Amino acid sequence: SQKIEQNSEALNIQEGKTATLTCNYTNYSPAYLQWYRQDPGRGPVFLLLIRENEKEKRKERLKVTFDTTLKQSLFHITASQPADSATYLCALDSGNTPLVFGKGTRLSVIA
């Protein structure tokens, strides 16, 4: 069956450290993968998109990698700040259907 797994429900890290979130998928062949940020009681906000032929994408303190062999994406936040505390969702293109989302990882950055 098809699955998207974000293997940590919650992640706590110290301010200034790099947070690394993982997204694994099975039985999908996505053309691209996206990461969103969701704050409590709010809709998700788009952060980054990475295509199947791209290994890495960066935007300010964010970095995303995409390994289609491992069927995995890693999402990094460097020099993390308390304001980065939120739930981060990965989502992938499943072909003809709309984006499919993982359950998310709730990141807490502790000052």
Binding region for another protein (CB under 8 A): 4, 9, 32, 34, 36, 41-46, 49, 89, 91, 93, 98-104
Cβ neighbourhood burial of 6 (10 Å; 0-12, 13-18, 19+): buried
CB-CB contact of 59 with 110 (8 Å): no
Complex with another protein: residue 28 or 32, whichever CB lies closer: 32
Complex with another protein: residue 78 or 100, whichever CB lies closer: 100
Supply the minimum distance, in Å, between the C-beta of residue 24 and another protein: 14
Q: CB–CB of 95/27 below 8 Å?
A: no
C-alpha 55/C-alpha 50 separation (Å) is 8
Q: Which is nearer to another protein, 49 or 78 (CB)?
A: 49
In the complex, minimum distance from the CB of residue 16 to another protein, in angstroms, rounded to a whole number: 28
User: Cβ distance 89 to 48 under 8 Å?
Assistant: no
- Least distance (Å) between residue 38 CB and another protein: 9
